């Protein structure tokens, strides 16, 4: 079977993009190879490391496992689109202040994931360490932050700084 | 990855018809968190994907009788966050939250979660024999790396485990899986959706090619408020279960006795394992550690651990006892 190409329209960081892609193209490859948005990283390409995390319609997702063709019409936000204009998102500033990275490779994924994790907590979503899933509001203590951010691996081990930055934004 | 055609059907019957026009390798596409990975690994090579995420199966309905009906396209995260699921079936919300990561739960669907494939390393490695991937090619896991594989119900052909956390809770809760095919609808009870490997390990479930999961109904269980999911894994989070347990306890608090219990085990078999022997032992007994230990023992009598996974048997035993004790004190 020959390669199958298809037309898709996506909104990426607020801008409408019309592309012709091979059905095999992941959202990650579309962003990096077709749109030159190289913030989202290809770490494992198997949904195990979180370096490719972006927001799809406001929700965090692994762009490596998302087929671009299946996301026709979606609004995608990458790390390049987190801040207002050329300014940093408050969480990006917090990452700098808390020394939340060393090599920086996982950082774009950490940032997108954390922005969504904060929103999930505000919406009252429980986690695996929430004592009573049936009731109560979510308090983002260290255990909650670590659990909610467990889909993002940092091989430099900058976790204490990441937790600190997210905790600051949760307050 | 092999090239493939992509279709998005307007309604369930359109999806079923579209898949029917493909070869037996054609697949429905849900969140893709397992399927796309398997395609990248060369384990799955569909020439056609039929996207079912936009079918009208995206709602959770809190039923008047105390049950819930969960559309097959509902994302795992939305199911775990649903107020009715959390209040009526805490074990189900906890099982969902114990699985994967926040990102993956946002993508993965309930239907896809049920139908995900084993994470046995030989199954996922196309350079190795595997009876599940390539019937008749052999099973290197039996003599090889099987630390995390089955201790119950395995066969000469296959020692794989089912990887889902959610399905363990659904088996404990006796869920009904609504399935639609070319000849109409049918309801498949859990346990009963997944099958033991026997000499056909290539068949994970009783579904036939082209049948589409449309919804999962969890019947009312008034005492399921006292339920929980407990999972042991090799790291604190974001890992598959070594062993897990889903349990619910109907406790007569006045007399301190168990009226009835529901127990299912994960990480131990080719299916989410309903612990019927343990449940039978728990009817009408004092809610004590001794009773729970006797029940766990009864269940695990039939365990047949492999060379490197015998530790799972006492682990499962302790997990059952501890979870039931937690439920007494809940």
DSSP string, B208-232: PTT-EEEEEEE---GGGGSEEEEEE
Minimum-distance CB partner of B5 among A4, A113, A147: A4
Task: Say if residues B224 and B304 touch (Cβ distance below 8 Å).
Answer: no
DSSP type of residue B298: H
Kindly give the interhelix angle for A107-122 and A90-97, rounded to the nearest 10 degrees.
Answer: 120
Give the tokens for residue A31. Answer: 């962003």
ipTM of the complex model: 0.98
Task: Say if residues B253 and B51 touch (Cβ distance below 8 Å).
Answer: no
B21 burial via Cβ count (<10 Å: 0-12, 13-18, 19+): exposed
Give the tokens for residue B100. Answer: 């994967």
Does B330 score more than 80 pLDDT?
Answer: yes
Which range (A86-90, B126-130, B189-193, B310-314) has the least confidence? A86-90
The pLDDT assigned to A137 comes to 81
Instruction: Report the Cα B42 to chain-centroid distance in Å.
Output: 24
A26 vs B contacts (CB less than 8 Å): 36
Round the average pLDDT of chain B to a whole number and report it. Answer: 98
Cα A165 from Cα A171, distance rounded (Å): 10
Instruction: List Cβ<8 Å contacts ≥24 apart for B179-183.
Output: B179/B207, B179/B211, B179/B212, B179/B213, B179/B214, B180/B12, B180/B13, B180/B16, B180/B211, B180/B212, B180/B214, B181/B16, B181/B208, B181/B210, B181/B211, B181/B212, B182/B16, B182/B17, B182/B20, B182/B210
Cβ contact B36–A26 (<8 Å)? yes
DSSP reduced 3-state for A152:
coil
Model confidence pLDDT, tens digit, residues B214-252: 999 999 999 999 999 999 999 999 999 999 999 999 999
Euclidean distance between the first and the last CA atom of chain A, given in angstroms as a whole number: 54
Cβ contact B3–A130 (<8 Å)? no
Q: Nearest 5°: CA angle at A53, between B233 and A69?
A: 110
* Region of residue B235 (phi > 0: left; psi between -120 and 50: alpha; otherwise: beta): beta
The β-bridge partners of B7 are B50
Minimum-distance CB partner of A133 among B4, B40, B94: B94
Minimum-distance CB partner of A47 among B37, B102, B237: B37
Minimum-distance CB partner of A133 among B40, B93, B104: B93
Model confidence pLDDT, tens digit, residues A124-145: 999 999 999 987 689 999 999 9
Contacts of B15 (CB under 8 A, 6+ apart): B9, B28, B50, B52, B55, B212
pTM of the model: 0.98
Give the up-direction half-sphere exposure of residue A25: CA atoms within 13 A in the CB hemisphere: 23
A116 vs B contacts (CB less than 8 Å): 102, 106
Model confidence pLDDT, tens digit, residues B20-76: 999 999 999 999 999 999 999 999 999 999 999 999 999 999 999 999 999 999 999
Does A1 score more than 90 pLDDT?
Answer: no
The CA distances from residue B109 to A123, B57, B59, B106, B143, in Å, are 20, 10, 12, 8, 34
From B305's Cα to the closest Cα of chain A, the distance in A is: 29
Model confidence pLDDT, tens digit, residues A28-82: 999 999 999 999 999 999 999 999 999 999 999 999 999 999 999 999 999 999 9
Cα B221 from Cα A131, distance rounded (Å): 22
Task: Say if residues B28 and B21 touch (Cβ distance below 8 Å).
Answer: no
Task: Say if residues A6 and A67 touch (Cβ distance below 8 Å).
Answer: no
Mean predicted confidence (pLDDT) in B273-289: 98
A134 vs B contacts (CB less than 8 Å): 86-87, 90, 225
């Amino acid at each position: 079977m020959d390669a199958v190409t298809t037309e898709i329209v996506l909104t990426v960081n607020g801008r409408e993009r019309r592309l012709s892609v091979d059905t095999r193209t992941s959202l990650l490859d579309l962003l990096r190879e077709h749109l030159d948005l190289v913030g989202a990283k290809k770490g494992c390409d198997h949904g195990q490391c979180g370096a490719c995390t972006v927001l799809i319609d406001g929700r965090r997702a692994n762009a490596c496992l998302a087929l671009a063709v299946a996301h026709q019409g979606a609004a995608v936000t990458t790390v390049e689109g987190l801040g207002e204009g050329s300014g940093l998102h408050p969480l990006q500033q917090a990452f700098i202040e808390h020394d939340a990275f060393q090599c920086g490779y996982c950082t774009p994924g950490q940032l997108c994931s954390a922005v969504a994790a904060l929103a999930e907590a505000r919406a009252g979503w429980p986690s695996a360490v929430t004592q009573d899933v049936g009731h109560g509001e979510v308090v983002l203590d260290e255990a909650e932050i670590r659990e909610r951010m467990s889909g993002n691996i940092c091989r430099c081990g900058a976790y204490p700084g990441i937790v600190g930055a997210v905790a600051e934004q949760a307050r | 990855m092999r090239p493939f055609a992509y279709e998005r059907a307007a309604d369930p019957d359109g999806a079923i018809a579209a898949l029917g026009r493909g070869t037996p390798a054609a697949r429905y596409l849900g969140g893709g968190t397992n399927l796309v990975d398997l395609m990248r690994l060369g384990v799955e090579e569909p020439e056609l994907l039929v996207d079912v995420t936009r079918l009208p199966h995206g709602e959770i309905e809190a039923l008047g009788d105390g049950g819930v009906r969960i559309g097959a396209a509902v994302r795992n995260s939305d199911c775990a966050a649903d107020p009715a699921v959390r209040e009526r079936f805490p074990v189900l919300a906890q099982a969902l939250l114990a699985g994967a990561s926040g990102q993956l739960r946002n993508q993965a669907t309930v239907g896809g979660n049920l139908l995900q494939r084993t994470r046995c390393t030989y199954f996922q490695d196309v350079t190795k024999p595997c009876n599940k991937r390539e019937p008749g090619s052999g099973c290197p896991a039996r003599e090889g790396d099987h630390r995390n594989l089955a201790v119950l119900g395995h066969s000469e052909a296959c020692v794989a485990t089912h990887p889902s956390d959610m399905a363990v809770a659904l088996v404990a809760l006796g869920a009904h899986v609504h399935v639609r095919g070319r000849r109409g609808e049918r309801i498949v009870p859990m346990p009963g959706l997944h099958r033991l490997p026997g000499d056909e390990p290539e068949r994970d479930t009783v579904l036939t090619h082209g049948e589409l999961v449309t919804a999962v109904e969890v019947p009312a269980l008034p005492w399921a408020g006292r339920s929980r999911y407990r999972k042991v894994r090799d790291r604190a989070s974001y890992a598959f279960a070594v062993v897990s347990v889903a349990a619910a306890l109907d406790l007569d608090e006045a007399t301190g006795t168990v009226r009835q219990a529901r127990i299912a085990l994960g990480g131990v078999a080719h299916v989410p394992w309903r612990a019927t022997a343990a449940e039978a032992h728990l009817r009408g007994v004092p809610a004590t550690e001794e009773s729970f230990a006797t029940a766990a023992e009864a269940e695990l009598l039939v365990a047949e651990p492999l060379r490197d996974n015998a530790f799972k048997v006492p682990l499962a035993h302790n997990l059952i006892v501890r979870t039931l004790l937690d439920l007494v004190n809940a």
